[in-house]
């Protein structure tokens, strides 16, 4: 096991490059199942989740090679149409193979990500979507088994915009016979990139980035290359690292248009921003102002930035209210932040954050990817030493985060530990 040790109090300064978007590449990789041949995915981040998705594809018979942030994928020997529990339980996004497998091969056996289809990690929207396209779906001892002679177009309306279900249905429908309409579709940049990638493979898709995506099925697709968009959540996380430490940081190789809601909230909190086409410079104010946030689907304030925002608000000069509307239980970072001296009260899906003068270092435990990020951010400003345990969570979605932070002057390092 490994932990991070952080000595807080350093104002971060300097420049950091943002890596490719985890939540884009995790959709682009399974999309390669839709056509036989060789693909290159450029600007791929070096993450545990990319390794896990690679294992899922290798299990299916795909050849995957990762070097210099380039994924080379060959899908000429796809031979199995299953994603086993051992892999899916490590990463919910493995379910993204369901749509392409049933769409191209007419069969898919994919483990449920954990819990049942309806909770706590629901996939009912994925299942209902491919059923509408004509698949027979049964749940058999923890697996989704989907069969279809040939999928046909359909009109699908999602009760709530789901990133994963929009991606899965889009991938299932590109080879279906006829027109598919996805209403109340997700508009996240990662889904737009997935759609654009499918178009570059020969798919006919319109409406990307709007509430309604229309797909006209084609007979076959061909391989294409793609460059992953920058990770908007990593970008937001590093901006908050600059703000929380009272520093001045420039993030490069990002796309500020993909995280405007975060930039506006950072300005409301008193930060000075210089925004370019592919960079953002942030300078922290002497005091962080309390700013309320309610998470929302894109282009609203991202749920994946909620934990990091609470870390920043924990040292603001006043009280703020953070409301989580996307996931019902996404406050596991709060008890750990309280161990660092934060004053936060959670009531259902609302966190009341009373800013404190300072946080004090302590031993804390990561519980999930973005919770880990919020603990690291708090540790950077807490007085003294903070130890963050179970950092395998953070390595899922941030590429060598401690090295990037060290380059900004942070006193953070990785240590082996038998504590967990």
Binding annotation for UDP-N-acetyl-alpha-D-glucosamine: 92, 121-125, 304, 326
* CA gap 420, 418 in Å, rounded: 6
Among 12, 34, 83, 123, binds ligand EPZ (CB under 6 A): 123
Check binding of 54 to ligand EPZ (CB under 6 A).
Answer: no
Among 51, 92, 177, 332, binds ligand EPZ (CB under 6 A): 92
Among 150, 160, 257, 358, binds ligand EPZ (CB under 6 A): 160
Check binding of 132 to ligand EPZ (CB under 6 A).
Answer: no
Element counts in the chain: helices (H) and strands (E): 14, 26
* Chain mean position to CA 77: 29
* Cβ 302 to ligand EPZ shortest distance, Å: 6
What are the structure tokens assigned to 270, written together?
A: 């008193």
Establish whether 116 is a catalytic residue: yes
* CA gap 33, 292 in Å, rounded: 43
Q: Restricting to residues 177-236, which ones interact with ligand EPZ according to CB under 6 A? A: none
* CA gap 258, 190 in Å, rounded: 10
Q: Is the CA virtual torsion 59, 108, 31, 304 positive or negative?
A: negative
* Cβ 278 to ligand EPZ shortest distance, Å: 22
Contacts of 337 (CB under 8 A, 6+ apart): 310, 311, 314, 344, 364, 374, 375, 378
Nearer to ligand EPZ, 100 or 164 (CB): 164
Residues β-bridged to residue 321? 352
Nearer to ligand EPZ, 133 or 315 (CB): 133
> Which contiguous run of DSSP H or E holds residue 30?
helix 22-31
What are the structure tokens assigned to 364, written together?
A: 């804390």
Contacts of 181 (CB under 8 A, 6+ apart): 154, 155, 156, 212, 213, 214
What's the half-sphere exposure (Cβ side, CA atoms, 13 Å) at 41? 29
* Cβ 330 to ligand EPZ shortest distance, Å: 8
**Sole window of 98-106, 122-130, 239-247, 402-410 interacting with ligand EPZ (rule: CB under 6 A):** 122-130
Check binding of 270 to ligand EPZ (CB under 6 A).
Answer: no
* Cβ 123 to ligand EPZ shortest distance, Å: 4
**Sole window of 52-60, 67-75, 161-169, 239-247 interacting with ligand EPZ (rule: CB under 6 A):** 161-169
Check binding of 157 to ligand EPZ (CB under 6 A).
Answer: no
Annotated binding site: 22-23, 92, 121-125, 304, 326
The terminus-to-terminus CA distance of the chain in angstroms comes to 7
**Sole window of 65-73, 99-107, 159-167, 218-226 interacting with ligand EPZ (rule: CB under 6 A):** 159-167
* Cβ 91 to ligand EPZ shortest distance, Å: 8
* CA gap 66, 55 in Å, rounded: 12
Check binding of 42 to ligand EPZ (CB under 6 A).
Answer: no
Measured at the CA of 22, the angle between CA 67 and CA 37, to 5 degrees, comes to 55
Which x/- pattern, by CB under 6 A, does the window 353-392 give for ligand EPZ? ----------------xx----------------------
Catalytic residue among 15, 65, 86, 116: 116
Check binding of 163 to ligand EPZ (CB under 6 A).
Answer: yes
Nearer to ligand EPZ, 167 or 217 (CB): 167
Entry field: residues in the chain: 420
Check binding of 111 to ligand EPZ (CB under 6 A).
Answer: no
Check binding of 303 to ligand EPZ (CB under 6 A).
Answer: yes
Check binding of 256 to ligand EPZ (CB under 6 A).
Answer: no
Q: Count other Cβ atoms within 10 Å, centred on residue 403.
A: 12
> Which contiguous run of DSSP H or E holds residue 233?
helix 232-244
Closest CA to 73 of 226, 191, 175, 299: 226
Which x/- pattern, by CB under 6 A, does the window 311-330 give for ligand EPZ? ---------------xx---
Q: Which residues are catalytic?
A: 116
Residues of the shown chain interacting with ligand EPZ in the complex, contacts defined by CB under 6 A = 22-23, 26, 92-93, 122-126, 160, 162-165, 303-304, 326-327, 369-370, 397
């Amino acid at each position: 096991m490994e932990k991070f040790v952080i000595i807080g109090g350093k104002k971060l300064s300097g420049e950091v490059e943002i890596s490719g978007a985890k939540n884009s590449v995790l959709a682009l990789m399974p999309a390669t199942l839709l056509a036989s041949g060789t693909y290159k995915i450029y600007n791929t981040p070096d993450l545990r989740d990319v390794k896990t998705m690679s294992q899922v594809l290798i299990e299916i018979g795909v050849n995957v090679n990762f070097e210099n942030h380039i994924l080379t994928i060959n899908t000429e020997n796809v031979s199995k149409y299953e994603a086993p529990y051992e892999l899916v339980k490590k990463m919910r996004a493995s379910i993204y193979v369901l749509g392409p497998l049933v769409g191209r091969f007419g069969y898919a056996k994919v483990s449920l990500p954990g819990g049942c289809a309806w909770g706590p990690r629901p996939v009912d929207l994925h299942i209902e979507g491919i059923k509408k396209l004509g698949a027979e779906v049964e749940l058999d001892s923890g697996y989704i088994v989907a069969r279809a002679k040939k999928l046909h177009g359909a009109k699908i309306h999602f009760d709530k915009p789901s990133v994963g279900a929009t991606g899965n249905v889009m991938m299932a429908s590109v080879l279906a016979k006829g027109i598919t309409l996805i209403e109340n579709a997700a508009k996240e940049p990662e889904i737009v990139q997935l759609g654009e990638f499918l178009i570059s493979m020969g798919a006919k898709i319109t409406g990307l980035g709007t509430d309604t995506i229309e797909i006209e099925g084609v007979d076959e697709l061909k391989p294409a290359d793609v460059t992953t968009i920058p990770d908007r959540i990593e970008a937001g996380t590093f901006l908050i690292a600059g703000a929380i430490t009272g520093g001045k940081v420039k993030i490069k190789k990002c796309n500020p248009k993909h995280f405007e809601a975060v930039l506006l909230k950072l300005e409301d909190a008193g930060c000075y921003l210089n925004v370019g086409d592919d960079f953002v410079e942030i300078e922290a104010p002497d005091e962080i102002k309390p700013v309320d946030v309610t998470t929302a689907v894109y282009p609203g304030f991202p749920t994946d930035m909620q934990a990091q925002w609470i870390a920043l608000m924990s040292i603001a000069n006043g009280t703020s209210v953070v409301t989580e509307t996307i996931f019902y239980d996404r406050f596991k970072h709060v008890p750990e932040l309280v161990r660092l001296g934060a004053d936060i009260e959670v009531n259902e899906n609302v966190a009341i954050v009373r800013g404190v003068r300072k946080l004090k270092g302590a031993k804390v435990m990561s519980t999930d990817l973005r919770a880990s990020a919020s603990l690291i951010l708090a540790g950077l400003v807490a007085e003294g030493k903070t130890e963050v345990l179970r950092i395998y969570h953070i390595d899922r979605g941030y590429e060598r985060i401690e090295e990037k932070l060290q380059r900004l002057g942070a006193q953070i390092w990785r240590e082996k530990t038998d504590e967990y």
